[in-house]
Amino acid sequence: MRSVEALVPLKLTLFGEHAVVYGEPAIAMAISEHMRVRVTESDKTTVSSSSLKIGNIKVDLSSMHIESEQAYRELSYIMETLNYFERKVPAQITIESTVDPSVGLGTSAAVIVGIVAAYSRFLGDSLSNMEIAKISRAIERKVQGIGSRMDTYTVSLGGILYFPKNSEGVERLDGNIGITGGYIRRTLSTAEILKRVKAIKDKNRQFEKIMKLIGEVVEDAREAILRHDVELLGQMMFINHGLLMSLGVTSPSLDEVVSSARTIGLQGCKMSGGGGGGSVICIKSPKAELLLESRGFRLVDSELNKNGVVIKEISN
């Protein structure tokens, strides 16, 4: 039986989430937590995933109409990705992830990238990682209505990536950053939080200034990474968190943990990703691990992934 497997890293947003959607720069990092998407020859097309909020689901896409609105929403990333392929060959698609979905670690991007990578190879195409990134970016934006290239590019390409202001470009930053990261469950999806931020934009005169300030923080953080200036990097984390709080995209538990981080003398912490709960990152230290664990966060393996998505053909 012929199978193709895509191993997709997940990501941490280091700086600039939300503002990147409005043209500001951002920095993200691919990590060792990952999603595995396997496409196997079959007589009909089915998808199974054990890590969705609706529980374990199996859908026969050739005959079944999905009645549940929640199920439909949850499956929209998969459906839209399969729709991208004009030519279809029946296959069993299985998805496994080392982390929970919807906690700011880029599972929405990874599921698209994983299917684009594995299914295109299954059909006999050889896409480059950049081609996979571009195709996946368009699909994620189509599903969410709003969104930047940050997550799809990061999980496709790997590394620490800087996304310049008002551009479709991307720049790889050399070096490594020690990060302690963790997450708690959240109730809102990134798509819902993005809509809330858009509503603030339409009503609030300060919005553009806050976006610009986040952009400046990102530029200073980029300098700090290039100069290995951990102290400055930590300061930029605290400031970035404060600006995200002013947009209302943090949550009481995220704010408490970041505020406690300051009190106990950690160098820097901030929320990471879409917000409303979800992920927090800090400059790496044993004290940061203890803090996150004491607040019920699940620690993530934030080892840098340099390769991005990797495709493997398996025949047995």
Ligand X SMILES: C[C@@](O)(CCOP(=O)(O)O)CC(=O)O
Residues engaged in binding ligand X (CB under 6 A) = 13, 17-18, 20-21, 104-106, 108, 147-148, 150-151, 190, 273-274
> Could you tell which of Mg ion, ligand X, ligand ADP, none binds residue 21, using a CB distance below 5 to 8 A set by kind?
ligand X
Q: How far is the CB of 100 from ligand ADP (least distance, A)?
A: 8
SS3 percent helix, strand, coil of the chain, rounded to 5, is 40, 25, 35
Phi, psi of 311 (to 5 degrees): -110, 135
Task: Identify the CA nearest to 13 among candidates 311, 273, 284.
Answer: 273
Nearer to ligand ADP, 101 or 234 (CB): 101
Question: Distance between CA atoms of 288 and 118, rounded to whole angstroms?
Answer: 37
Is 255 among the residues known to form the active site? no
Minimum separation from the CB atom of position 226 to ligand X (A): 22
Considering the candidates 43, 125, 151, 202, report the single residue annotated as catalytic: 151
In the bound state with ligand ADP, the residue whose beta carbon lies nearer, of 111 and 266, is: 111
Which are the contacts of 152, defined by CB distance < 8 A and separation ≥ 6? Answer: 109, 112, 113, 133, 136, 137, 139, 140
Q: Taking CB within 5 to 8 Å according to partner kind, which of Mg ion, ligand ADP, ligand X, none is near residue 150?
A: ligand X
- Site for Mg ion (CB under 5 A): which residue of 190, 235, 272, 302? 190
Measured from the CB atom, is 38 or 186 closer to Mg ion? 186
| Shortest distance in whole angstroms from residue 155 CB to ligand X | 10
Which residue in the block uniquely carries the two structure tokens 């006999």? Answer: 124
Tell me how far, at minimum, the Cβ of 87 lies from ligand X, in Å.
29
Helix (H, G, I), strand (E, B) or coil at 306: coil
DSSP β-ladder status, 310-315 and 2-15: antiparallel
74 binds, among ligand X, ligand ADP, Mg ion, none (CB under 5 to 8 A by kind): ligand ADP
**Whole-angstrom distance, CA of residue 115 vs CA of residue 72:** 18
Between 11 and 121, name the residue whose CB sits nearer to ligand X: 11
Scan for tokens 């005169």, then name that residue.
205
DSSP per residue, 34-74? EEEEEEEE-SS-EEEESSSTT-SEEEETTTPPP--HHHHHH
Which of ligand X, ligand ADP, Mg ion, none does 97 bind, CB closer than 5 to 8 A by kind?
ligand ADP
Q: Which is nearer to ligand ADP, 22 or 183 (CB)?
A: 183
Minimum separation from the CB atom of position 121 to ligand X (A): 25
Site for Mg ion contains 250 (CB under 5 A): no
Given 45, 92, 97, 108, the residue binding Mg ion (CB under 5 A)? 108
Structure tokens at 303: 């080892």
DSSP 144: H
Closest residue by Cα to residue 95 from 45, 139, 54, 52 = 52
Minimum distance of Mg ion from residue 273's CB (angstroms)? 7
Residue 312: phi and psi, rounded to 5, are: -130, 130
Residues contributing to the site for ligand ADP (CB under 6 A): 49, 51-52, 74, 77-78, 95, 97, 101-109, 111, 189-190, 273-274
Candidate ranges 78-86, 113-121, 183-191, 230-238; the one touching Mg ion (CB under 5 A): 183-191
Order across the sheet with 278-283: list the strands. 269-272, 278-283, 179-184, 298-300
Please identify every residue annotated as catalytic. Answer: 151
Residues in contact with Mg ion by CB under 5 A are 108, 190
